Amino acid sequence: MKIYYLTYQDFPANTANSQQTISTCKELSRKGIEVKLFFPLRSYKSNDSFDQLKSHYQIEGAEFQTKALPHNRNFESKYFKRLNFLISHISWSFSSVKHVIKNYEVPFCFITRSEWVFYFLCKKNLYTIFECHKLTYLRILLLNKIIKNSNAKILFTNQELKNSINNNQKYKNRLLVQNNGYDSDFFYSLENKDKKTVVYSGSLQRLGEDRNLEFIFDAFNDPRLSTFQLKVFGGTEKEVKRFEKQYRTAKNISFFGYVPKKVLSKYLAKSEIAILTSGRDKFSMIYTDPIKYYEYSASGLKIVATDFPSHKSLKKYGNMLFFRDQDIESFIKSILEIHKNNLDKDFEKLIPSTSQRINNLLKFIN
């Protein structure tokens, strides 16, 4: 079987979405499928050398083809940025679909995270799976139109995402809810944990704006958390230096910046508690299915999370307590309480891996 992953993402990158796409291609390849990843030359860092991607994403035991396609528009301007991005996205999707169909053998199936690639491929009546990780009003309109095409299928990472799309019964076989998962190449759990070690892993900004994490960092200045150690992984060098300067007097907070998955997994496996938080936009509060949750869980961590609906939907796995966003007192109490609790080890058996996720994706494709 031949599958093309044609997507409007940038590679290599440290974002969760780029890492998940690479994991999908990696797992498909391991199952004997011929995979080719197409993406735009969106930035000066874009690179389609498989050796470069293999090194950046620490890929082992899998190979797939990679091809970067020209990207002729600049959407980085601070003026009309969203409009420029939309125009760039549409124009690249149109030209790239046309180019791939003309110059490459048509595969059994396409996969994409781009609604516009999805639209143009389905207009050509080509079998396409759209991975839906978030929604906008425009995307909802497009998906409700495209799903009427018999060659279109949509994979949602969250039940609430699926509920926002046309749920006509005649389309039910074209829609699937499949949660995210952890990459078992990296994440594992250890029995002996460093008690009172708390970790946060993720970006320090979202869409160019602070993620309002200061209330969490401030909480570790409270005497009740003085014996706990907070380790923060993620952020650019500039962001890390800013927070190191801001919290230079806090002896129990360490900022590490971005670290490779293999390094991160060692820290997570030895820690006791993890922090899961997100932005206050509607997508983050309701529709997201954070990959970080699965990575934390596979590492055997107790998790404290903001009390958003998207996080509460993960409560079924049984290793979480919740705190109110921007509420220091609520956060401190959640840390102290979960530290006292014993973790139910059975929950780890329920956490899906990327490999299991791809097995379900292939059943959906077939």
Residue 207: per-residue pLDDT: 52
Residue 160: per-residue pLDDT: 86
CATH of domain 197-350: 3.40.50.2000
Alpha-carbon distances, residue 176 vs 209, 293, 308, 335 (angstroms): 33, 21, 23, 35
Residue 349: per-residue pLDDT: 67
The alpha carbon dihedral of 286, 307, 271, 198 has a sign of positive
Residue 256: per-residue pLDDT: 95
Residue 317: per-residue pLDDT: 62
Give the residue range(s) of CATH 3.40.50.2000 domains in the chain.
2-180+354-365, 197-350
Residue 84: per-residue pLDDT: 85
Residue 314: per-residue pLDDT: 81
Q: Is the pTM for the entire model greater than 0.85? A: yes
Does 3.40.50.2000 match the CATH number of domain 2-180+354-365?
yes
What span, in angstroms and rounded, lies between the C-alpha atoms of 227 and 220?
9
* Longest CA span, the chain: 65
Contact 106, 126 (CB under 8 A): yes
Torsion of CA 125, 128, 132, 137, to 10 degrees: -10
Residue 136: per-residue pLDDT: 84
> What are the mean pLDDT values of the chain's consecutive 10-residue runs (366 residues total)?
96 92 97 97 92 96 96 66 87 97 97 98 97 89 94 93 82 92 94 95 70 90 96 92 92 94 96 88 77 93 91 76 94 96 71 92 93
Instruction: Tell me which H or E stretch contains 306.
Output: strand 302-306
**Radius of gyration of the CA atoms of the chain, in A:** 21
- Tell me which residue of 10, 75, 82 sits closest to 39, measured CA to CA: 10
Neighbours of 83 (CB within 10 A): 11
Residue 347: per-residue pLDDT: 64
* Residue 279 backbone dihedrals phi, psi, to 5 degrees: -70, 175
Residue 209: per-residue pLDDT: 56
Residue 191: per-residue pLDDT: 87
Residue 82: per-residue pLDDT: 80
Residue 292: per-residue pLDDT: 93
